[in-house]
Amino acid sequence: MSGGEEAELRPMQVGTEQAQPMMAAKQRLQASAAAVGTLRTDVAAGRLKLDPEAGREVQDLLTEQLDQVDAWLRRSDDLGRRAPLGQNPVGEAMAGKFADRATSEGDSFTGVLTQYRQVLDEAQDAVAEAMRRYQTADEHAVDMFQNLKSQL
């Protein structure tokens, strides 16, 4: 402190700083999953078809992101190792708690990454289906024009 500033003493809320980023990540993940669900619904209903060239660009971006998530998941195994915090009840409990937060299913780092990977897979499937529907519609239009041309 400089210049006569006084420190404000506030009680520290344990876990709040860690919980906020995790909650934000979960909310973004849920929003992404909902968006992919809407995408899949629109594709299935025929409201969305995707030009194969544009679709390949999207698939390349999704594949790049999937590769990154896979790398993060491989590295997350290191987070699951128990930290050497001592051979006492408190150290053992804390080491277990940290390892569990990193790698357990659900709200852990690994759990959220696994869910994110699933959303990316679903997005990739939706893009592939939209590309197939575009191709089918395009082939149908060509067939109709050829039939019309042969009738003239």
Q: Domain ranges for the chain, please list them.
A: 51-141
pTM for this model (two decimals): 0.70
Least confident of 59-73, 93-107, 117-131: 93-107
Q: What is the pLDDT of residue 19?
A: 61
To 5 degrees, how large is the angle CA 29–CA 130–CA 124?
Answer: 40
Average pLDDT for residues 24-34, to the nearest whole number? 87
Residue 10: pLDDT band with limits 50, 70, 90: very low
Write the DSSP assignment of 125-146 as a string of letters.
Answer: HHHHHHHHHHHHHHHHHHHHHH
Q: Which value, in Å, is the radius of gyration of the alpha carbons in the chain?
A: 25
Residue predicted with more confidence, 38 or 1:
38
The token pair at 71 is 């790398």
Q: What is the pLDDT of residue 126?
A: 95
Q: Which helix (H) or strand (E) holds 40?
A: helix 16-44
Residue 9: pLDDT band with limits 50, 70, 90: very low
CATH 1.10.287 fits 51-141, yes or no: yes
Res. 33: pLDDT tops 60: yes
Residue predicted with more confidence, 140 or 23:
140
- Tell me which range, 5-9, 54-58, 84-88, 99-103, is most confidently predicted by mean pLDDT: 54-58
Taking only the tens place, the pLDDT of each residue in 128-150 is 999 999 999 888 888 888 888 88
Distance CA 71, CA 67 (A): 6
Residue 76 near residue 109 (C-beta atoms within 8 A): yes
